[in-house]
Amino acid sequence: MNLSTNNEIDIVRASSTKINDIDFDNLVFGNIFTDHMLICDFKDGKWQKPTIKPYEPFLLDPSAKVFHYGQAIFEGMKAYKDNNDDVWLFRPDENFDRFNKSAKRMAMPEVPEEVFLGGLHEILKIEKDWVKKGKGNTLYIRPFMIATGTGVVAAPSSQYRFMIILSPAKAYYSGEVKVIIAEHYSRAANGGIGAAKAAGNYSAQFYPTKLANEQGFQQIIWTDDATHTKLEEAGTMNVFFRINDTLFTAPSSERILDGVTRKSIIALAEKEGIDIQVRSVLVWELVEAAKNGTLKEIFGAGTAAVINPIVGFSYKDEYFELPKLEDSVALKLKDKLTNIQYKLEEDTFGWTVKI
Ligand code: COI
């Protein structure tokens, strides 16, 4: 190991790298991590100096509040390599802002920009060889914060740990995605934490998703908790519907995550002259459009999955198959978006940030 410091961050370099043992062509999403991680602790009311050090497990007290009350938030981001070997981030300021909104909602301290974005730049400089060239290759970035303070009193912690870990990734889903429309379970409710990237929002989906998997569906389209009539999200992604030549997606709200991919697709669709309406689509509208042939596409959008076409949906035990299209808007928008991310097309939006 070799210790250095750049004033803001202590850096302890790993004595060897795992990179030569990784089969980058056959990655299972989120299973392999790079050689280093970033750690920054919050104690005595302030953030301490961050450290980048070799990736390894760490100890926590069994009474740490994250174990008992789930005070935990995260973000999902990606780094991309262009044909000149430069590494790029996509709209990192959006993730930073949303992380701190999530922190506020979960009564956690906000993370300073120099720790979140400054730390991310430093660790990516160290791990740049883990970002492989070529469309589809990415380094998935997982910043997260957990409550590390001890004691099982149900109150916010006074100590926290912010970390960044990195995982080389290709596709999130390996096969076709069929969904079932939620009639009973909910992902989020008004006044709840649906708009925060809180860990519990995701674990609360596991049981209903397991039931859906048992029926042959990969994901659930979440509906509003009060009436189950409005279509809101698809699994861990935002969701878009194309009826005739109009794209629809629900407005972000207290129940819906303000996705970075979602808002980029809206902007790209507007630029491409695609008719896009940000409004709730009702379940009956979707079923009617599927029955009369005007429903052309459904797709999920998120950082991990990018844009994921959905091949069919089930509602009240009736299954509707989506048509296989030559002129898929989902694939056109995915191509445009990834061309910007990999610097294959001019980024007229100013979304990409060089490391
Ligand atoms: C992402 O798309 O980055 C997410 O946060 C979803 C996650 C469950 C993989």
Atom of ligand 1 nearest to the CA of 305: 2
For the Cβ of 76 lying below 6 angstroms from any atom of ligand 1, the answer is: yes
User: Is the Cβ–Cβ distance between 1 and 143 less than 8 Å?
Assistant: no
Per-residue confidence (pLDDT) for residue 123, from 0 to 100: 97
Atom of ligand 1 nearest to the CA of 261: 2
pLDDT in tens, 65-103: 999 999 999 999 999 999 999 999 999 999 999 999 999
What's the 142 CA to ligand 1 centre distance in angstroms?
Answer: 9
* Token pair recorded at residue 159: 């100590």
For the Cβ of 179 lying below 6 angstroms from any atom of ligand 1, the answer is: no
pLDDT at 5 over 80: no
CA 45 to CA 67: how far, in whole Å? 21
User: Considering the chain, what percentage of its residues have pLDDT values greater than 90?
Assistant: 91
Angle between helices 260-271 and 92-105 in degrees, nearest 10: 140
CATH of the domain spanning 2-169: 3.30.470.10
> Maximum CA pair distance of the chain?
66
Per-residue confidence (pLDDT) for residue 326, from 0 to 100: 87
Q: Which among 172, 236, 299 is the best mutation to test ligand 1's pocket, defined by most ligand atoms within 8 Å of the CB?
A: 236
pLDDT in tens, 297-353: 999 999 988 999 999 999 999 999 999 988 999 999 999 999 999 999 999 999 999
CA 224 to CA 280: how far, in whole Å? 10
Show me where the domains of the chain are located.
2-169, 178-341
178-341 topology per CATH: D-amino Acid Aminotransferase; Chain A, domain 2 (3.20.10)
CA 15 to CA 9: how far, in whole Å? 19
- The model carries a pTM of 0.94
